[in-house]
């Protein structure tokens, strides 16, 4: 059986099913001893003599380049920007991931951040703790245009969660034509209208449509990012793009650090070019940067996937891929 190193943190914090599954199938398991996200050279140092790696978002390039034993990377999550796929192919390292399990938790956190930003929930909490009571005003989702960049698994779920709020518009921007997915959401909207009519509510109808990036940025009251970190999305939200946003708008990133240029976002916020932002992901994690000095910024700890059920599902699916691989069975979610 295989020796398996787990670099992702946390792992089996609230549910031991994934670990139990590996051990029950005869695998030897060692878990990240640092209690934090590992740096690239730390992954190499700790995992170079293992057959398989259960990974988070750590940069795995040094490990794949430096290990002669590694046969499988099983990624807990969906993003693959930290996995050097070309090098994996060259070195005959198979890669699997868990693309579906993360979507419910990330999309729900995104909705929470939308509500928080628009109603200034975190600001009110901080004020009370500091002896203040200004009762800050906010805006309703039902009167807003919500922009969604990336309409894959998570972006589509965000749109479906928004239906009950009935925003004036949901603007979708994606490199692919999403007419079919938009039609599905529009059909669900019709059911919401019927229900509201039965309840005696006379709310306006929501329009959902696909737009280009410029219209998305210029028109959205809330813009939420759900694209992978790729060469063409790295630093996508730079100063020039963000300055096109409305002064009253908010920016949310629960996708990947690096899509928003954090230095440029600091300048945008410092000059009050937008109303605020919420970030769950950062270029360098843990985050200790200057964005923490803004009252109108919400910072969370790359915890989009961290609901008990979704995290357990992700970990279990990653462990199951390890077991399949060393039994000689096909991987369920093979990347390369």
Bridge partners (DSSP) listed for residue 148: 172, 224
Confidence tier at 6 by pLDDT (50, 70, 90): very high
**Residue 205, pLDDT score:** 83
Q: Is 317 a catalytic residue?
A: no
Instruction: Report the alpha-carbon distance of residue 72 to residue 93 in Å, rounded.
Output: 5
Residue 190's pLDDT is what? 86
204 has pLDDT over 80: no
User: What pLDDT is stored for residue 101 in this prediction?
Assistant: 94
Share of the chain above pLDDT 90, in %: 94
Q: Is 256 a catalytic residue?
A: yes
Catalytic residue among 27, 226, 256, 324: 256
Instruction: Specify the fold of 103-299.
Output: Rossmann fold (3.40.50)
Asked whether the predicted pLDDT for residue 69 surpasses 90, the reply is yes
Q: 27, 226, 302, 324: which one is catalytic?
A: 302
Q: Where are the domains of the chain?
A: 3-101+307-326, 103-299
CA–CA separation, 36 and 57 (whole Å): 11
Residue given tokens 């209208």 in the structure block: 193
Contacts of residues 292-296 at CB distance under 8 Å and 24 or more positions apart, as own/partner, are 294/269, 295/123, 295/126, 296/123, 296/269
3-101+307-326: in CATH 3.40.50.720? yes
Query: Same fold for the domain at 3-101+307-326 and the one at 103-299?
Result: yes
Q: What is the mean pLDDT of the chain?
A: 96
Measured distance CA(116)–CA(254) in Å, rounded:
14
Q: Is 285 a catalytic residue?
A: yes
Examine the pLDDT at 126 and tell me if it is beyond 80.
yes
Is residue 146 a contact partner of residue 162, using CB atoms and an 8 Å limit? yes
Ramachandran bin of 22, using left for φ above 0, alpha for ψ from -120 to 50, beta for the remaining angles: alpha
pLDDT at 163 over 80: yes
Residue of 53, 60, 46 lying closest to 11 (CA atoms):
53
């Amino acid at each position: 059986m295989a020796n398996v190193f787990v670099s992702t943190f946390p792992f089996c914090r609230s549910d031991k099913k994934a670990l139990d599954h590996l051990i029950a199938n005869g695998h030897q398991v060692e878990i990240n001893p640092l209690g934090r996200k590992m740096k690239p050279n730390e992954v190499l140092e700790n995992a170079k003599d293992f057959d398989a790696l259960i990974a988070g978002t750590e940069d795995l390039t040094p490990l794949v380049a430096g290990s002669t034993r590694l046969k499988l990377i099983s990624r807990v999550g969906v993003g693959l920007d930290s996995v050097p796929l070309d090098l994996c192919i060259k070195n005959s390292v198979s890669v699997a991931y868990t693309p579906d399990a993360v979507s419910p938790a990330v999309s729900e956190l995104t909705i929470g951040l939308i509500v928080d930003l628009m109603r200034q929930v975190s600001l009110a909490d901080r004020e009370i703790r500091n002896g203040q009571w200004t009762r800050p005003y906010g805006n309703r989702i039902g009167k807003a245009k919500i922009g969604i960049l990336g309409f894959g698994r998570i972006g589509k779920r965000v749109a479906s969660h928004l239906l009950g709020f009935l925003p004036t518009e949901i603007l979708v921007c994606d490199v692919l034509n999403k007419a079919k997915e938009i039609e599905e959401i529009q059909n669900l909207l019709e059911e919401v209208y019927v229900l509201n009519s039965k309840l005696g509510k006379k709310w306006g109808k929501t329009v959902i449509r696909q737009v280009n990036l410029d219209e998305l940025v210029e028109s959205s009251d809330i813009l939420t990012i759900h694209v992978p970190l790729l060469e063409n999305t790295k630093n996508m939200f730079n100063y020039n793009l963000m300055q096109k946003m409305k002064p009253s708008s908010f920016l949310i990133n629960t996708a990947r650090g690096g899509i928003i240029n954090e230095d440029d976002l600091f300048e945008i916020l410092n000059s009050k070019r937008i109303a605020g932002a919420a970030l769950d992901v950062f270029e360098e994690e843990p985050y200790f940067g200057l964005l923490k000095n803004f009252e109108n910024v919400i910072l969370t700890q790359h915890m989009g996937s961290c609901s008990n059920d979704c995290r357990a599902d992700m970990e279990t699916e990653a462990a199951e891929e390890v077991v399949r691989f060393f039994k000689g069975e096909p991987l369920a979610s093979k990347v390369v």
